Chain A
């Protein structure tokens, strides 16, 4: 049973044919990352899009003047910092009822005597009711009100607001958060696709009971498994164009960087993940179980790799820990490339993931071959019998 590239090629082509015959599996490779992106976009998109946070404004001021009108105008103004507010004037009773029923989450009350107090330089309070369902939502409701009040101070209380602030951005363009997520989910898509496709190529042999035929074919099993790994690599790219395209159509931005670097990093990552995929396939022996394993492992790495937000937010300790997770290297370099167009850690990251890819190219077929010879069902039965005794 000599190792032959001819067998690798034959196994690779056979797997691609199988994929062509089962479009529902290709749809799954594309659909899961896409659903993931759509879910997060729906979840987080509300902060950035739409008419803004519906805000009940109760105007108790009987004689509104320049300050009251000014505050109302500022509350309803468009803002480049999301979320914006969508003030709806209503009476106190309606606002309170809607707030108590949870139908409105933010109520701002401008008290009677507001105009006189501000005109006469006396202190006055506006009342803000916030549905503090959870910390992040509370923050997103309170902060726009604080910002609007600060804008009011900077506009109308020039003598009181002696401190202001200035923001200096590192780069001229700020990518939209959801586009950033689409780009990082493309890396997730490659991970998930590779693990699932390679795992599925293994599990089908168990499901269709053709594993024995493979073993008896007198061909090197390593060559066969490597062929399956490479088919996983090819399939891992299936979902990526869709994600980039959708992010471009919706947000109008392409990521920075060059396609060659992207392909090099993703190819090595996919090869590493395919190695894990064929091992997972030999263990689970059922494609249904490989899907959640691949999806959840991918989500874990997506988060810890900086898919939601860059790791610099996290602090040093987590950053150092993360250095030892090989997938994070790919995320790090790709995020830097996508956002900054820079390649500061590319050499290190390419070496780390390259090393892992080569190691897994060698050891995965060997481990898989050993695992296929183990009868897990029998082992479990033996274990049960021993425990029963």
Chain B
């Protein structure tokens, strides 16, 4: 059996060397995603600066404090939350009504006088309520500024020590990864996922097209040896994609793993094991190289988006999260993003076991499919 496995590994690796086209999806998909994501987050804001106009009609120290808070309060990545541009009322309103300014804040005349006399002072935000997400993001930021003022936490220290109730925050990571850094980190495992799934699907479909697989299946080698050999060969083949994508992504995006490299390697290995038999099944069912490529690319992209590749799934409702967790890609992404940014071994067991289980179940299905194929032929 060992000799058979070794022969299959050798044959598959030779084939991969002869036809390196299998690297295509694993290089194209993550870079396209990175490009799209970079455009998305650098252009439409996200967690960072939101364009907002500011009209200050009051010259009191209180109005000045409020203005300074609005202009300087920062998010967890030290980006200012509002990208404030000052205007006079007429210009701001004109830009706003023409759709060139999504929102502007007015600190009205008498703002400071009201506060000094113990009365309420109201700052007003005019917002183009294009959708509820825009409104949510602007309300949240504006409300944070109002709270800081009421807590007496003004620029430059934003010191809450005299506030009736202060908010003392702590975070799970030493520094919050920006959306782009998160995407860069998961793009590495996306490259591996695309390679594992697409290359195996293409290889199997090609062997069907040439009739080589039927010959192999009818040979005296056991089906278990075939599956094991093909899976072992897929490990270096899938990792080879990372030799190109990982250094490029890490250097260009300036993102490097914080967690233990051995654990990260283990996660990569489990991901390959879980996805290779799925690729094998795709190839065996479709039996056409190009259509297998298309199907595996679509599955990888869907698994990546739904599995939390573009944003962690933590905010999804419980029932939806349960559906997402059926996909092995969800577990791979969860493990990878956790260990990439945090040196921990906590909270990894369930997902690791799930990936291992997926490998065993899917391999059994492949063996069953092979048996059916032999019987059919």
Contacts and interface: CB of A to CB of B under 8 A. Distances in A.
Q: Do A and B share a complex?
A: yes
Interface of A: 35, 39-40, 42-51, 53-54, 81-83, 99-103, 105, 118, 121, 123-147, 149-150, 152-153, 157, 159-171, 173-177, 179-180, 286, 288-289, 291-292, 296, 299-300, 303-304, 308-316, 318-319, 335-336, 339, 344
A102 B173 CA distance: 11
B132 A165 contact: no
Which of B96, B170, B181 counts the most A-chain CB atoms under 10 A from its CB?
A: B170
B102 interface: yes
B125 A166 contact: yes
Interface in B265-306: 290-291, 293-294, 297-298, 302, 305-306
Contacts of B127: 167-170
Given A43-B316, A131-B314, 15 more contacts: A35-B302, A43-B311, A45-B320, A46-B315, A102-B347, A118-B165, A123-B165, A125-B166, A146-B143, A149-B167, A150-B143, A163-B149, A168-B126, A179-B131, A335-B130
Contacts of A99: 172
B317 interface: yes
Given A47-B315, A82-B136, A176-B131, A126 B100 contact: no
- Between A126, A167, A299, A335, the greatest number of chain B beta carbons within 10 A of the residue's beta carbon is seen for A167
Interface of B: 28, 32, 35-36, 39-40, 43-48, 50-51, 66, 75-77, 83, 96-102, 114-115, 118-136, 138-144, 146-147, 149-151, 160-173, 176-179, 181-182, 290-291, 293-294, 297-298, 302, 305-306, 308, 310-320, 324, 334, 337-338, 341, 344, 346-347
Given A43-B306, A51-B318, A165 B122 contact: yes
A159 B317 CA distance: 38
Contacts of A35: 298, 302
A136 B165 CA distance: 25
B150 A169 contact: no
B124 A146 contact: no
A296 B37 CA distance: 12
Contacts of B40: 303, 308
A108 B162 CA distance: 20
A163 B36 contact: no
A139 B75 contact: yes
A83 B338 CA distance: 23
A165 B123 contact: yes
22 contacts: A40-B305, A46-B314, A46-B320, A103-B347, A127-B170, A146-B144, A150-B146, A162-B150, A164-B120, A164-B123, A165-B125, A165-B142, A168-B126, A169-B135, A170-B97, A173-B129, A174-B130, A177-B132, A177-B134, A299-B36, A310-B99, A312-B51
B169 A128 contact: yes
B128 A310 contact: yes
Given A132-B76, A136-B179, A146-B143, A123 B166 contact: yes
B44 to A, nearest CB: 4
Given A163-B146, A167-B125, A129 B346 contact: no
Given A43-B305, A138-B47, A310-B102, A303 B169 contact: no
Contacts of A144: 140
Most chain B C-beta atoms within 10 Å of own C-beta, residue among A43, A168, A173: A43
Contacts of B317: 45-46, 49-51
Q: Kindly name the residue among A146, A152, A160, A163 whose own CB sees the greatest number of chain B CB atoms within 10 A.
A: A163
Contacts of B75: 135, 138-139
Contacts, number: 328
A130 B179 CA distance: 16
Contacts of A316: 100
Contacts of B126: 168, 170
A313 B100 contact: no
A53 B77 CA distance: 22
Given A50-B316, A127-B170, A313 B45 contact: yes
A310 B169 contact: no
Given A135-B178, A142-B169, A157-B150, A45 B164 contact: no
Contacts of A147: 139-140, 143
A135 B48 contact: yes
B294 A291 contact: yes
Contact of B120 (A46, A163, A180): A163
Contacts of A39: 302, 305-306
Contacts of A312: 51, 99-102, 128
Nearest to A342: B99
A48 B132 contact: yes
A324 B351 CA distance: 47
Contacts of B119: 162
B42 to A, nearest CB: 9
Nearest to B304: A39
Contacts of A167: 124-125, 127, 135, 138-139, 142
Nearest to A319: B100
Nearest to B181: A134
A140 B129 CA distance: 19
Given A132-B171, A309-B131, A314 B312 contact: no
Contacts of B98: 344
A285 B8 CA distance: 34
Given A118-B164, A131-B172, A316-B100, A150 B147 contact: yes
B128 A133 contact: no
Nearest to B178: A135
